[in-house]
Structure 1
């Protein structure tokens, strides 16, 4: 078992605390108005922390590859650390997914309803590649909206 003086374990524990903090923030977020400026700021803070945590996990992964030269670890301890890291990374991916999924409800309020999709599909019926490219250019120039 690794000692608490081990820098990798200290860094891992900090990352785990950050993950718990993010999880708590995601839970608290439900009490805020998602569309208000405070809710958006809060969501940005959560995204920022998830990014920081992802960077820390990448750092831990690289440290794990360098550890055997600096500090002899048994194969069992190395596998345990790899599992710990994989579990934490999975947790972070779930949190990021949860955050993104909750934003899908706000898509219409940001971009407006997607009522033009069927219209756009009907415009391309019967066009060859050249015609589709021409239509795209007209739409990008703002001539066909």
Structure 2
């Protein structure tokens, strides 16, 4: 169990919970229709969580590289945590590939580094002048490779931004469809209200005619009664 001061293990546990949640949501997708607004919203939520998981994995990788200088840790424990991280990264890549998030996989490949101890070594120890020159050239090559990876990472980030923009466009389209359905329902409701008003007027008109007819009959009956009384009295 991680100690309260072990920030890396806390971050790792949070990332593992997020990965489990993503796995459960991917499993739930099989119970949804192949297409439709509900399915699209579900997939969009999974994609956002996978993107967040990728960010957390990058943070974990950075913390793991600085771990030996931050807290006392054995080499065995360091290797164990590196294996844990690699397994979680692999799980995240598999879930991303399930949703065809190729940019996520490319991003992991660009940022992935070989698992190795991070102990700092004095690279110049025991080197002569020729060795120092060779070391300097090697460092320059490493810097060039680092710049190339940085350029690739920037391009990958651009692709991620495009994917997020695509998700926003999808949500905008769903909202527009919802507005259209609301307008159609409002129009139908207005038509029903007009028909009810017409029916109500017709009903009132029918009652008026009936009352008039009854009044006429009552007057006729009253006239007959009066005539009969006058005639026989």
Deviation, 1:10, is 0.7
Q: Per-residue deviation at 1:9?
A: 0.4
* Counterpart contact for 2:25–2:46, Cα < 8 Å: yes
4+ runs deviating over 2 angstroms: 1-5
1:86-101 maps to which residues of 2 (within 5 A)?
A: 86-100=86-100
Tell me the residue number matched to 1:14: 14
Instruction: Say whether 1:84 aligns with 2:84.
Output: yes
> Does the CA-based 8 Å contact 1:34-1:40 persist in structure 2?
no
Unaligned runs of at least 5 residues, structure 2:
102-233
TM-score for both structures, normalised by structure 1: 0.66
Is the counterpart of residue 24 in structure 1 residue 14 in structure 2?
no
Kindly indicate whether the alpha-carbon contact (under 8 Å) linking 1:15 and 1:56 is maintained by their aligned counterparts in 2.
yes
Counterparts in 2 of 1:3 and 1:62: CA distance versus 1, 3 Å: same
Report 1:40-119 matches (<5 A).
40-100=40-100
- Deviation for aligned residue 1:3: 2.9
Q: Deviations over 1:98-140 (max 9, x none)?
A: 1229xxxxxxxxxxxxxxxxxxxxxxxxxxxxxxxxxxxxxxx
Larger radius of gyration: 2
Measured against aligned partners, the alpha-carbon deviations of 1:30-77 in whole angstroms (never above 9, x if no partner) come to 111131011011101001100100110000000011111110111111
**How many residues were matched structurally?**
101
Q: What CA deviation, in whole Å up to 9, does each residue of 1:64-102 have, x standing for no partner?
A: 11111110111111111110000000001111111229x
The answer to whether 1:34 aligns with 2:34 is yes
Once residues 81 and 7 of structure 2 are traced to their aligned partners in structure 1, the CA distance between those partners, rounded to angstroms, is 13
TM-score by length of 2: 0.41
Instruction: Calculate the aligned-residue CA RMSD, in Å.
Output: 1.6
Specify which structure has the bigger relative contact order, considering alpha-carbon pairs within 8 angstroms and separated by 6 or more residues: 1
CA distance in structure 2 between the partners assigned to 1:75 and 1:3 by the alignment: 18
Structure-2 separation of matches of 1:2 and 1:15? 15
Q: Compared with structure 1, are the counterparts of its residues 52 and 21 closer, same or farther at alpha carbon in structure 2 (3 Å cutoff)?
A: same
